[in-house]
Structure 1
Amino acid sequence: MSELNPKTKHKEFNGLPGVLSISLGLPILLVFLYQLSNEHYHTKGLSIDLTQVFTLERPLWDMILDSKVWSFYLLWFFGLMILDLSLPGYHKQGVELRDGTKLTYLINGVSISLILIITLLTRFWLTQGELPELQFLYQNILELTIITTIFSALLATFVYIISFQPLRKPNGKGTNERILAIGGNTGNPIYDWFIGRELNPRIGSWDIKLFCELRPGMLLWLLINLSCLHQQWLKLGYITDSMILVNVLQAIYVFDGVLNEDGCLTMMDITTDGFGFMLSFGDLSLVPFSYSLQSRYLAVEPIELGEIFSTVVLLISFTGFYIFKSSNNQKSNFRQGKLSHLNSIQTQRSTKLLCDGWWGLSQHINYFGDWIHALSWSLSTGFITPFTYYYILYFASLLLHRQSRDEIKCKEKYGKSWDEYEKAVPYKIIPYVY
């Protein structure tokens, strides 16, 4: 094995037993979440009717082979792929890879967002508000949950297989060897399939990982929310303030990600992680069908929050979003040399670690803002059941895991400079707490 692709020594999630548990457990969790919140049954308080939870609406095999749902999803995925390849935008280079090259990405989130909004408004006008596509989506959430899970596994298998194929065009150092992920090159097929063997799998210039990160799952999350709002309007004849809040707050988050996709090029998902089932399932299935939990619950349990509580939720949301955006913008401007007056620590790698402004409060102050913003989504469902607060618990565990991984990577990368940085910024996520 060449130095370009060293053998993976450290295994995440306790190795093979862990990745097998996650691969089986998370899809089951998504089905469980659906079973607790649908048109036939939804939980209240802490009570759960186990008979309802373990009784599927349709036989599992029928849902797996549902040709209409498969057609719906394939049209969605590959339709977005065509738009991603054809719509105008601008090109931007990613971070430098281990072979000294940089990948070029087409950034066209603005164009895709405009197409989606125009299409939805046009369909709304033509159908006088009764959109059959949104009705179909709402009525087949469980089927789509299962089908996107299968599709994620197939996509992970596809990119795992092509990771063994030589590149057609030599890279900058005269080799056609693919760049593998540092964490996904163990030689164990199941583990590498889950973590992702190749760092940036591509078909031509189309980057599969960045596409899945921001297109099919994120935008499907938006559509599911709209389908729940649409369902509530059809059922009640009006839309509750809680449903409006969830849709607006989460739409801001979705479009912020899609419209600022170039910011993803420096994120760990793109720069470090391979693309395997972990990211494939997370992007295509876990995001749309767990992040939409609040709107799905409100579709079957309408809640009016009132002006005072709605205002409190909005203040919490905008506080978190401001911290998240302001801190990320500050770091981005610092990296571009625009904030040279801020305190920083010079490393042996000719880079600087920012330890001033937002980033003097905690090492991951953006995570803190992101979590506060997410808390507002759950608060929009009131306090009927803790079930709708699942997301903030999951998100907290995700952020803690990312923080620990990032800390390990930075200690290896910066050495003594990182020790100095930790003394200057001792708090990891929450200022003065953790």
Structure 2
Amino acid sequence: MPPSELRQRNTGAAYESVLSSTSTDGAKTAAAEAAATVRSEHASNYSEGTNFVEGGFESNPILLSLCVAAPFTSLLMAHVTSQDMATQYPDMARYPISGMLAGCMDAPVECWNGMQAAAFSASPQGGMAFILSFMAVALVLERLLPGKIEYGPETATGHVPRYVDNGVPHFVVYTILFFLGSNLGVANLYDFGIMYDLFPESLAFLNVFGIVFCLFLTYKGIYFPSTQDSGSSGSFVKDYLWGTELYPQVFGLDLKRFINCRFSMTFWMLAGFSYCYRSYTLHGQMDWGLFFSALSQYLYLVKFFFWEMGYMRSIDIIVDRAGFEIQWGCLVYVPAVYTFHTRFLVQHPSGFSFAPAFVLFCVSMAAVVLNYMADREREIFRATNGQALVWGKPPKYIEAYYTITDRKTRAKQVKKSLLLASGFWGTARHFQYFFELTAAWTWCLLANPIHNGGLPLSYAVFLTILLTDRAERDAKKCHAKYGKYYDEYCELVPYKILPGVY
């Protein structure tokens, strides 16, 4: 028997994509409401005011380990790619096993003392002015740039996030301002390589800022929440790591979007070219591996800002509360890890000539384009309520019903989502992750790990683990929300990321 709710066309007004909990159409027809009511006995429960998936360290020991080790590790990663490291230990970073690990095994106490000294060698005060200025420009653009009003998915308590969709003008204006303000532009306020020169100090400040900021978020979510999607678990450690509020705001500023997108993604976007310039001034020639890696990442993030509203409907936003895991991660871990391979090349050039670097660049861009096509396919499906063709055919999807409970009135309401099972989304539940991973591995391969050792692969390895875990978390979220309807969807789309493999 085929899944009971499989349809070729949408017959209702409200819907969602497989990664979204959007249900913004509050004016269902009487017929649709009646149909939903009849089906409510089969709808899965949608936990009130809480995340869809279990979270916190007691259910994810890997997350706890990362959170404990991450601040120190990030500082070490900043030092490993610094000018000081290259001067004190020439080429040591290229031999992480035979050099670093072997040395630590021979003299563990001296190694530990050396790592501590290296990690805390950079002063937070040295990077404070740059980071605060970087954030201030992003804040001004966030407030001033116009854009269409968009809405995120409705939460379990009935809150509908509101956004000004100005991501595209943000990245255009910020890129121009960063160039014009440098020695390459007209203002000559700073050297274009400043993001490399001040990186250890900047990351030291971001670590301090991020830890304090997350303490503020923990306190605010308990005592001064912006929405009802908040509250304490009873454990301070869990509250701090996982978060106490889903959509924190201060003076109308969405803190989650500002940190995740306007700071984190913008820093990542511009860092590659800043590193590329510093490499050129140090070595007197263009490093094509670094250049094409920086260019591909920049274009990938251009795609991100075009798709920003899709991100605001993703699991990072609609499920994960604003705690250490997400907010500190975007403030510190993204600059430290996501730019590591390009930052590594400043002191250790890839050695690639134009031709092989360009081939890898083309592979990365093909992955970026396919990733965008997958995201766009889902957006069109959402915008047309399932009426648009997918790969030239009417889309297959599951009609999934779930219930929400109003915290104040205790009234229950039945909602409906459409789970797309065609095109990219019928190939695997997160086929877009495969394209993201292809791009990530290509960027790291442009650092020539055969010549430079395994450390430049850090980002690709981390992202592989992250997206695999995210696919698992999304499955838990969707199963908790949709129940048997998600089981039916999984029968149609059995693989999570790569067909035939996983």
8 Å CA contact 1:333, 1:339 repeated in 2? yes
- Cα deviation, 1:363-414, whole Å, max 9, x if unaligned, reads 1101111111111101111122111111111101100111111111111112
- Cα deviation, 1:100-158, whole Å, max 9, x if unaligned, reads 23121112122222222222332356668987344443222222222111111111111
TM-score relative to the length of structure 1: 0.88
> How far apart, CA to CA, are the structure 2 residues paired with 1:256 and 1:163?
32
Report how far residue 31 of structure 1 moved: 2.3
* 2:254 maps to 1:207: yes
8 Å CA contact 1:138, 1:228 repeated in 2? yes
Which amino acid counterpart does residue 32 of structure 1 have in structure 2? L
> How far apart, CA to CA, are the structure 1 residues paired with 2:121 and 2:444?
33
> How far apart, CA to CA, are the structure 2 residues paired with 1:27 and 1:397?
19
> How far apart, CA to CA, are the structure 2 residues paired with 1:63 and 1:252?
31
* 2:480 maps to 1:409: no
Q: CA 1:116/1:130 → structure 2, altered by over 3 Å: closer, same or farther?
A: same
* 2:58 maps to 1:14: yes
8 Å CA contact 2:287, 2:351 repeated in 1? yes
> How far apart, CA to CA, are the structure 2 residues paired with 1:270 and 1:235?
40
Q: CA 1:228/1:56 → structure 2, altered by over 3 Å: closer, same or farther?
A: farther
Q: CA 1:419/1:57 → structure 2, altered by over 3 Å: closer, same or farther?
A: closer
8 Å CA contact 2:225, 2:248 repeated in 1? no
8 Å CA contact 1:231, 1:299 repeated in 2? yes
| Aligned residue number for residue 347 of structure 1 | 400
* 2:102 maps to 1:37: no
Structure 1 unmatched runs, 5+? 169-176
1:148-163 map, 5 Å:
148-163=206-221
| Aligned residue number for residue 392 of structure 1 | 460
Which amino acid counterpart does residue 344 of structure 1 have in structure 2? Y
Which amino acid counterpart does residue 170 of structure 2 have in structure 1? I
Q: Secondary structure at the match of 2:312?
A: helix
Bigger mean CA deviation after superposition, 150-159 or 107-116 = 107-116
Which amino acid counterpart does residue 55 of structure 1 have in structure 2? G
> How far apart, CA to CA, are the structure 1 residues paired with 2:137 and 2:175?
15
Report how far residue 234 of structure 1 moved: 1.1
| Aligned residue number for residue 25 of structure 2 | none
Which amino acid counterpart does residue 229 of structure 2 have in structure 1? I
| Aligned residue number for residue 190 of structure 1 | 237
Structure 2 unmatched runs, 5+? 1-46, 104-109, 403-415
8 Å CA contact 1:153, 1:280 repeated in 2? no
Q: CA 1:243/1:178 → structure 2, altered by over 3 Å: closer, same or farther?
A: same
Aligned residue pairs, count: 420
Q: Secondary structure at the match of 2:99?
A: coil
> How far apart, CA to CA, are the structure 2 residues paired with 1:353 and 1:242?
40
Percent identity over the alignment is 23
Report how far residue 95 of structure 1 moved: 0.9
- Cα deviation, 1:42-79, whole Å, max 9, x if unaligned, reads 42244334478863697876744x43421221222233
Report how far residue 287 of structure 1 moved: 0.7
> How far apart, CA to CA, are the structure 1 residues paired with 2:369 and 2:172?
24
- Cα deviation, 1:159-193, whole Å, max 9, x if unaligned, reads 1111123468xxxxxxxx63227xxx411112111
Bigger mean CA deviation after superposition, 271-280 or 116-125 = 116-125
Which amino acid counterpart does residue 48 of structure 1 have in structure 2? G
Q: CA 1:57/1:407 → structure 2, altered by over 3 Å: closer, same or farther?
A: closer
Structure 1 runs of 4+ aligned residues shifted over 6 Å read: 56-62, 128-131
Report how far residue 14 of structure 1 moved: 3.0
> How far apart, CA to CA, are the structure 2 residues paired with 1:135 and 1:420?
53
Report how far residue 20 of structure 1 moved: 4.9
8 Å CA contact 2:424, 2:431 repeated in 1? yes
Superposed CA RMSD: 2.8
TM-score relative to the length of structure 2: 0.77
| Aligned residue number for residue 55 of structure 1 | 114
Report how far residue 362 of structure 1 moved: 0.7
Report how far residue 248 of structure 1 moved: 0.2
Report how far residue 4 of structure 1 moved: 4.7
> How far apart, CA to CA, are the structure 2 residues paired with 1:339 and 1:8?
29
Greater RCO structure (CA 8 Å; 6+ sep): 2
1:120-199 map, 5 Å:
120-124=178-182, 132-166=190-224, 178-180=228-230, 185-199=232-246
| Aligned residue number for residue 171 of structure 1 | none
| Aligned residue number for residue 173 of structure 1 | none
Report how far residue 415 of structure 1 moved: 1.5
Which amino acid counterpart does residue 168 of structure 2 have in structure 1? V
Bigger mean CA deviation after superposition, 137-146 or 328-337 = 137-146
1:270-289 map, 5 Å:
270-289=317-336
> How far apart, CA to CA, are the structure 2 residues paired with 1:426 and 1:17?
27
Q: CA 1:260/1:352 → structure 2, altered by over 3 Å: closer, same or farther?
A: closer
> How far apart, CA to CA, are the structure 2 residues paired with 1:348 and 1:19?
32
Report how far residue 252 of structure 1 moved: 1.0
Which amino acid counterpart does residue 339 of structure 1 have in structure 2? A
> How far apart, CA to CA, are the structure 2 residues paired with 1:7 and 1:408?
11
